[in-house]
Each structure stands twice: as structure tokens, then as C-alpha cells.
Structure 1
Amino acid sequence: MPNSLKLKTTVKGTNANVIIHRAEKRLLNERIRQCNFTVKKIKEEIENIKTQLVTELEPEIWERIRTAYDNAYEKQFTECRYRQQQKYDHLVAQRNGDDRNGENYLTTHINPDKWVVNLSNRQLSPAEITVLQKGMNFCVTPLSVPVQEIVASTEVVCNQMKDKSEADSLRADVVKILKNSKPPKSNITTEERNAIAQLSRDRNIVILPADKGRSTVILNKEEYKSKMSGLVNDETTYVRLRNDPTRRVKNKLVNTLKRWKKDNKIDSKLYNKLYPTSEVVPKLYGLPKIHKKDSPLRPIVSSIGGVMYSTAKYLATVIGPLAGKTEHHIINSTDFVQKIKGLEVPPGQKLISYDVSALFTSIPVDQALHVIKDRLERDNTLSDRCDLSVEQIENYYACA
């Protein structure tokens, strides 16, 4: 049942659940009926438009339009069908855990042994393996209610509220809840909790998520440091800075935002959203590529809390919709398979793929900015998602 159609009631009991279930099914049937009606109307409109175009356009022009329409339709249909099939398969597997042969999906198709890849010298105990198999995003329930953290977070929210009475009411509600709160039931065993403590005390290992997949990887710390040093000492890819540019970049960004606000080019809401409030230096770390020989590291730069963090998040919403607009764009491996389906490689030729080394650091920044500017100037929907002009966006990039 779609979440938007799920009903809730304070009435308890089996009969109430039956009534709710029947009501949800009737709503779902009505939605399906309305969708079918809408599809039918759209198809009628398409046929009417086609008929009009055939009578008003030259045959050659109409044929080009029809071909472009058919290609666009097939692409959208393929992508939508793939997404819906993935959602359906996931729901079926979640509901009963059965594959198409009736076998248990979880025990037949999932191999927990691959969830933990130990590349270190440490011998992992069964409890350590079990807790690592839960993944890096698994949240362990606390032994006690984190009162101080909740109070601190509440204060941050209250300080942003304009109505003082509402803020005081929120504080009172939080205090009341905390007084009656109890620690949640533990979601791991005592052995697993001890295993976490033992792993955290071991200074000779590093625990990381794999670059691809959901595996957890354990590396010797010295090996990790050696591989990271090899990455940052590559002078063909990186340039060593003589000093920390954080303050200079922040001042440049702040001055730009103040000038725009003074000239009424941005409002206070956007100004506060983009204003840098911290100066955390971005951190570099590596994720092991366990699918490659010797498990090299993929460098990742975390800019959370950095001067340009809010800027990057905002600009991602501005230029993100520009991606994937060409016929050469590949969404994923499934989309690639669909595109080459039926392709015949001529005799004497081969289909090959290339892997770019240090892709992002190899992109010429000036040319990339020129391309982005050109695409933004031709984007008719820019004003719908962004209050800045193309010139402002270009200057904003220059701050980085």
C-alpha cells in the first residue's frame, strides 16, 4: 500500500484493522481508475496532435519529429519501467523473502561472508564479525538517554524561533518527555557491544566502507597511511599549498554575499543560507577498492563544515538538472545494457571501455566553467530553482 494512502485511527481492535484495510484498498482502486482515465485522455490528446501535425507539416519534417518523439518515449519508458520493477522486486523481497523459485531469498542469494573483508593482520572474533556485518550505518542504541545532546539541539531550534512563547513551550515539552524517558532496549548483544569496544581500542587497524558495495573493510593502519601518502604525494595530480587558504576564501565569499544583499540581488533568507558559519578544513580520506588488485584507495574529500559546504550544496541544486540531457549520458549499467541491446560489433572490431585516472583533478576548470555558463544561459527553467542570475552564479564559482 502506498504511504500516501495509508490510514490511521486511534480505534484499536481487529475489526478496526479490517475496516482500515478495506478503505485503503478502495482508495487504491480509485487511484488506479483515475490514473487509467488520465492515461486515456493523454493518449487521445497525443493522437489529436499527431493528426494535426501530419496535416500541417511537410512529410520530411513530420518524420523527423515522429522519430525524435519515438526515441524520447522509448528512453523514458525504459527508465521508468526499470525503476518501477526495482521497487516492486524490493517490496516483494521485503514482504516474504522469496525468490521466483520459492526459495528463501535472504538465505539463498545473500552471502554474509562477503559483508566483511579483513585485509589486516588482526584475527576477528565471531562477535566482531557479526557486529561488523551490520554495516557502517548501523546505529547502536545508547545505554542511557543522551539528555545533554537533546537539550543542546532543542536550544539551537528555540533560538531560531521568532515567537518566544512557542520556544518556551517547546522547552517545557522536551523537559517533560526527558523526565519520563527510559533508555531504549539494546539492539545488539553484550558480546557485540564488547566487540565494538575492543575494535575501537585497536590502534593498529582502520575500519572503512568499501568503495563499491556495502562491505566493511578492515585495513592495517600503517598500510592505509602508506597508500594515502602515495596519493597526496602525486605531484602530477595535486599541488602542495604554501598556506591555508580558508580565511581568504571565506572573506571573498562573505564580501560577495554582503554586496549582493546590499544591492538587493538576494534576500535575507538566501543570504543566511549561504553565509559560511564555520571554517573547518576539508578532510581527505580513502575508500578501498576491494574489487581491484591490491585494493587501492579512492580519495574522498569531506567538506562538511567547510567554508564552501553550503555553497556546494546550493550550486548542486542549480547545475544538477543540467546533467543527463544528452544522448551520450549513461544512467547506470542497466541503462547501458538497454542502449547496446541489439548492437552488432563488425568483424575485426571490439567493444572496449576506458577508465579515467584522477578524473576530477584532470578537468580543466576554466573550460568547465565556460560549459556550465553556456548551459545555464540556454536553460529556460533556471529561474524556477534559483534566484541568482547566470552572472552571479559565475562569480559565485569564482569564490571557490
Structure 2
Amino acid sequence: MEDFINRIECSEISFAFKQLKYTLNKRHRNRQHIEFLHECKQHDVIPRFLNIRLPAVHNEAKKHRIRMSLLKKELRRQYQLSNNIDLRLKFLHHFLLRHLHTIEYSILVDSLVEDTFYINWNADRKRNQKLKFLINQKERTRQQTNRVHTAPPDIIQPNEVHQFHDRFTNLSDVYFSEEEETILNLGHKFAPIPKSFDIHEMAIDIELQIRRDPSFDTLADRVLHTLKCFREKRVKVSDREQIDINKKLRGSIKNIREKVSINDLIITKADKNAGLVILKKHLYIEKTLTFFNDNNILEIKNNPLIKFSNKVNNIIKTSLPTLHKFGETIFSIKERNPQTPKLYSLIKLHKPDRSIRPITSAIGSPTHKVSKFLNKLINGIFKMRSQYSIKNSQELIKNLNSLKLDPHKRYLLISFDIVNLYNNIPVEDTLAILYKQLKDYLEANNDLNLDAIDIENIMALARLASEQNFFIFNDKVYVMKDGLPMGSPFSGPMSEIYLNFVEKLIMLLPLAQYIILWRRYVDDVFCV
């Protein structure tokens, strides 16, 4: 705390502003996290970050007690952190009041608090969703347990027990042993215990992550102290049985890699989280190229990354005044080292032809941060959501339960989906619809004090995010001639805007009078 006070006293007032904004943001996240932990404690649920692996000798009740004690310990730690944050804020308040008028300072704090709310809006929403999921999961587990204990033994038949699919599917003609299949069934997130641990590499990785933090010096000292204690107290694995298991695991993993390499196989994920799939590499490439041919995706000779990145940088610089109104800076919106997006394919095991679902990894691409900003802007601030769209199946059930039907009439239930949604969205039409909606917002409810130039800047960023339609597959560069970029965070809101427009047109048709209920989840529609 003394170092923090000395740095503030010796710095300019602009640095104190930055520290105030950072500390208010940190206080918001800290309070939300404390509230989340209290809710978990009240509902007797364990957050995922506390679901650590415990020895098998403990029963489930004891494991739960241990995790609850860890939750209470985390609460105490967060309260200590809250006290430190409050001390920093108190000093910053006194420091800034010495340099600013009371009214100026009040306006500044109110503005920063409001910015903090908008910046953390999406994270707060996700945290609430996690809490609801944990509570619902506990309730489902309790209901299943009650059904198992209350059902008579003679009613439960073996063929009524639900069988989950394997976590690994072999579509090749290569044989894998039972030990190898056991490892593959553990899924793509499994990793054996490492033989060695390089503490210096970890120190470098941590430093890269915390370097941007305003309190880097203090954090660096704490991390250095923690790593030194870890190195001094580290205990090597001495359990002979565990060492033998690790050796067998590594041997089996080595055999899997050799078989994949020698037989020209590829390991990928299945669609709908259905585990791992192994198939011949040439079949994987053929299926993906067939999708390219059917959707007007063409190969190009030169990678447009550098030219496109320069265009992105120029538009971001032009749009900075608008970005500042939403709490963004050139560092938060610009990729320092942009990479070309990479495409991979998921195998649809539930389809007879084993077709593919292409996925583009756009993280680190030139417009990834721009797309995330636009996603937050449209969904979180402007709230451009269709009245016919639903968030999940629970909302659909609620709508169906509230539906009142005439028992003397006959009704038809229809369900259908949109084929290759992103590829079939007309970009120019969607941008025109977005522009009109932004102008309507400007005229009707301009809470953010936007002007016509801000709308033009937002549209320039939206057009920019829609133009990043190139990617790498099999060491070649391809470009999409039609539709929205796959893997872009902005493609979802754009498709939602266009589908909302189409649905409104459908409801103007003469046949729309016979539609009792129309609900859509992304690209799946249910109609009565």
C-alpha cells in the first residue's frame, strides 16, 4: 500500500485517473464475485473452479465438505482483497479531491461507474447464467437420485437405462488396442502428468500476462515470492504405482501418435460435443473441399493479411472518438500481432453421410477484438434481439405452456432449420438494416449521446468485420465470396438482425394469420 501511495503522490493526475478507473473496475468484479460465492454457499453448490480432483478414498459427502471449506476460504480471501481495494479507492478519492472541484470529481466518478457497468455487463450476465446452471444441475441430480431410490426394482429394465455414446469414434481401418482406446475415450482435454516442470518458463508466461496491469511491480514481487516458495517446498512424486501408470500412459500416447503419423490419419472433434473422431486425412480434406465447392469458397494465391490489417488499423484510428464513448481504447480494440484465421472441420456423426461442420478459429485475427466489441454493442447495449428468438429450451417450454389452443380445432406442428446460416446471409442487405436501426436508435433513445459521425464509425467497423472472410485450411488460403465470416463473434448478431427482418416480412403475409406460435433458436424454427 505504501508503494501505491508513493507512486500516486509522485505521478501526474492523468495517472491517478487511470488508477481510479482500473480500481473501480476491479471493485465491481470483486463485489460480483463475492455475491456469486455467497449465492453458491446459500444454494449449497460448488463453482467449477473449486471442483478439484480429490483422493478416491473420500466419499462424495466428504469431498463436498472439503470443497465447501475451500469456498469459504475463497470468500475470506475475496473480502481481504475487497478491503485492499477500498483502501486504494479511499486514497485516490482524497488525492483527486485535492486537485478537482467537488462537482467535477462527482461527475467523473459517476461517469466511470457507468462505464464500469457497461464494460462488465456481459461478464456479469455470464456469471448469473453459471449460477443458474449450477442450481439447475443440482436440482436435476437430486431428482434423478430420488427416482432411482423410489422406483421399485422390478420396474427398472436394463434396456431403459440411457447409454451415452463413446467419447471416441474410429472411422478408419487402423486398429487401436484396448489401452489406446481407453486414452482416446478420455477426450481431447486429457493430459498426463508432466515429467518435469520448468519454473523459469512459468515465470516468463506469468510476466507476459500481468505486464499490462497498472500494479505490475507489486504483482511481480508477489508472484516471485510465490514461485520461490513453490520451488523450495516442491515434493516430487514418489508413489511407485503412480509412476508406472504415467509410464504406461505415455507409452500408449506414443503408439497413438505413431499410428496417426504412419497411416496418414487425423484426429478431430465430432459435432455436438460427441467426442473425438479418427479418420483418414484425405477423407477429411475431401469432405471440407466439397463443402467449399458447394458454398462458393475459393482458393486464392496471396494471403491478404497484411493489406487487410493496415485497413483495419486505419479505420480503428478514425473511429477512436466513438470507441472512447464505450470505454474502448486503441489497445483494447487492436490486435498487436494479427494472424490469419484457421479453419478446421467437425464430423457430424449423427448424419448418415458423416458430413462436416466447418469452424473458423478467429482468435487473434485482425478484426477479432472489433467483432467482440460490436457483439457487445448490439446484444448488450442496443439490445437488437428478435421478438421471435428464444435463448434456450426452457424459454420455449414456458411459451408452450402459456399457449391457449382451441380443443375443437386441429393444429400442425412444424420444425425446420436454415442450411448453412452464415453462408446464406446477404451482407449488404444486413448492413443496410443495421444502419437503419442505428439511425432509429439515434432519433428515439440516444442515452449514449451518439451523433451521426458515431453511427458512421460503427457502420465502418461493422463493414470491416464482415469483410474478414479469408482463412487458412491445409496450408492454403481460401476466401468466402458469399455470407458472413465463420467464427467471427459479430456474425451471430448480424444473422439475428437479418432473420428478424425476414420474420417481420413473414408475419405480414396473408398466411401469417394462421401462425399461432413462431419461435426460433439461432437457425432452428418451431412453428404451430
Q: What interval of TM-score do these two structures reach, taking the shorter chain for normalisation?
A: 0.5 to 0.7
Does the CA contact (< 8 Å) of 1:207 and 1:218 recur in 2? yes
Determine the structure 1 residue equivalent to 2:349. Answer: 290
1:399 aligns with 2:477: no
Q: What is the Cα deviation at residue 87 of structure 1?
A: 4.3
1:353 aligns with 2:415: yes
Query: Structure 2 unaligned runs (5+)?
Result: 1-35, 43-61, 73-128, 466-528
Q: What is the Cα deviation at residue 217 of structure 1?
A: 1.9
1:195 aligns with 2:252: yes
C-alpha distance after superposition, 1:43-65 (max 9, x if no partner): xxxxxxxxxxxxxxxxxxxxxxx
- Secondary structure at the aligned position of 2:391 is classed as coil
Closer/same/farther in 2, CA of residues 111 and 315 from structure 1, 3 Å limit: same
Does the CA contact (< 8 Å) of 2:199 and 2:227 recur in 1? no
Equivalent residue letter for 2:435? K
Does the CA contact (< 8 Å) of 2:322 and 2:454 recur in 1? no
Equivalent residue letter for 1:211? D
Determine the structure 2 residue equivalent to 1:252. Answer: 311
Q: 2: distance between equivalents of 1:165 and 1:319?
A: 37
Determine the structure 1 residue equivalent to 2:166. Answer: 114
- Secondary structure at the aligned position of 1:212 is classed as helix
Determine the structure 2 residue equivalent to 1:71. Answer: none
Mean alpha-carbon deviation: is it higher for 110-119 or for 211-220? 110-119
Closer/same/farther in 2, CA of residues 323 and 168 from structure 1, 3 Å limit: closer
Equivalent residue letter for 2:256? L
Mean alpha-carbon deviation: is it higher for 156-165 or for 184-193? 184-193
User: 1:183-332 residue pairs with structure 2 within 5 A?
Assistant: 189-201=246-258, 202-203=260-261, 204-234=264-294, 236-261=295-320, 266=324, 270-321=329-380, 325-332=385-392
Does the CA contact (< 8 Å) of 2:342 and 2:362 recur in 1? yes
Equivalent residue letter for 1:326? S
Out of 415, 420, 434, the residue aligned to residue 372 of structure 1 is 434
Q: 2: distance between equivalents of 1:282 and 1:166?
A: 36
Mean alpha-carbon deviation: is it higher for 114-123 or for 156-165? 156-165
Equivalent residue letter for 1:389? D
Q: 2: distance between equivalents of 1:210 and 1:399?
A: 32
TM-score (normalised: structure 1): 0.66
Query: Structure 1 unaligned runs (5+)?
Result: 8-13, 25-81
Q: What is the Cα deviation at residue 312 of structure 1?
A: 1.8
Q: 2: distance between equivalents of 1:383 and 1:140?
A: 51
Q: 1: distance between equivalents of 2:202 and 2:148?
A: 48
Closer/same/farther in 2, CA of residues 156 and 346 from structure 1, 3 Å limit: farther
Does the CA contact (< 8 Å) of 1:279 and 1:305 recur in 2? yes
Closer/same/farther in 2, CA of residues 302 and 85 from structure 1, 3 Å limit: closer
- Secondary structure at the aligned position of 2:211 is classed as helix
Closer/same/farther in 2, CA of residues 225 and 119 from structure 1, 3 Å limit: same
Closer/same/farther in 2, CA of residues 200 and 111 from structure 1, 3 Å limit: farther
Q: 2: distance between equivalents of 1:393 and 1:228?
A: 34
C-alpha distance after superposition, 1:149-184 (max 9, x if no partner): 312212214532445742551453244144233467
Q: 2: distance between equivalents of 1:192 and 1:112?
A: 24
Larger RCO (CA within 8 A; separation ≥ 6): 2
Out of 184, 189, 193, the residue aligned to residue 137 of structure 1 is 189
Closer/same/farther in 2, CA of residues 347 and 114 from structure 1, 3 Å limit: farther
- Secondary structure at the aligned position of 2:358 is classed as strand
- Secondary structure at the aligned position of 2:360 is classed as strand
Q: 2: distance between equivalents of 1:277 and 1:374?
A: 33
Percent same amino acid among aligned pairs?
23
Does the CA contact (< 8 Å) of 2:269 and 2:277 recur in 1? yes
Equivalent residue letter for 1:210? A
C-alpha distance after superposition, 1:101-133 (max 9, x if no partner): 2289xx985635532222121222222222222
Q: What is the Cα deviation at residue 241 of structure 1?
A: 3.5
Determine the structure 2 residue equivalent to 1:79. Answer: none
Closer/same/farther in 2, CA of residues 163 and 115 from structure 1, 3 Å limit: closer
Closer/same/farther in 2, CA of residues 92 and 350 from structure 1, 3 Å limit: closer
Q: 2: distance between equivalents of 1:265 and 1:324?
A: 19
Q: What is the Cα deviation at residue 99 of structure 1?
A: 5.3
Q: What is the Cα deviation at residue 271 of structure 1?
A: 1.2
Q: 2: distance between equivalents of 1:111 and 1:167?
A: 49
Closer/same/farther in 2, CA of residues 317 and 98 from structure 1, 3 Å limit: same
Q: What is the Cα deviation at residue 273 of structure 1?
A: 0.6
Coordinate RMSD, CA, aligned: 4.2
Q: 2: distance between equivalents of 1:327 and 1:158?
A: 42
TM-score (normalised: structure 2): 0.52
Out of 126, 130, 136, the residue aligned to residue 178 of structure 2 is 126
- Secondary structure at the aligned position of 2:148 is classed as coil
Q: 2: distance between equivalents of 1:200 and 1:367?
A: 48
Q: 2: distance between equivalents of 1:209 and 1:142?
A: 24
Closer/same/farther in 2, CA of residues 212 and 308 from structure 1, 3 Å limit: same
Equivalent residue letter for 2:267? I
Does the CA contact (< 8 Å) of 1:289 and 1:295 recur in 2? yes
Q: 2: distance between equivalents of 1:127 and 1:147?
A: 32
Equivalent residue letter for 2:310? N
Equivalent residue letter for 1:197? K
C-alpha distance after superposition, 1:40-93 (max 9, x if no partner): xxxxxxxxxxxxxxxxxxxxxxxxxxxxxxxxxxxxxxxxxx999964452256
